[in-house]
Amino acid sequence: MPIFKRNRKQKQSIARSRVWARPEMQVVFRAEIMPGKSREERTFRVRRVLENGRVELYDFPDEHRESSFEPINFLRNKSRQDQNS
């Protein structure tokens, strides 16, 4: 019995815990991918997350991987809401 061998259930739970995006959340393409466009023009909403970790977007074709986007800052929207209060 190999020490490092994982069964199918373990692989699936690891894959699920590594999900970097969720449906309906906003993601921003890196500026290097869309030069000359503002942050608002590079922002899209996730339609669905595929099993391989890529995402499909509303109003934008094809599948895209995590490295195509700026790092996710979950506190950005919260701090923006706090400033408007």
pTM of the predicted protein model: 0.68
Q: Count CA atoms within 13 Å of residue 1 on its CB side.
A: 2
pLDDT, averaged per 10 consecutive residues of the chain (85 residues), comes to: 65 63 95 96 96 95 96 71 65
Polymer length of the chain? 85
| Residue 48, helix vs strand vs coil | strand
Q: Give Dmax over CA atoms of the chain in angstroms.
A: 59
| Domains, in order of start, for the chain | 22-84 (2.30.30)
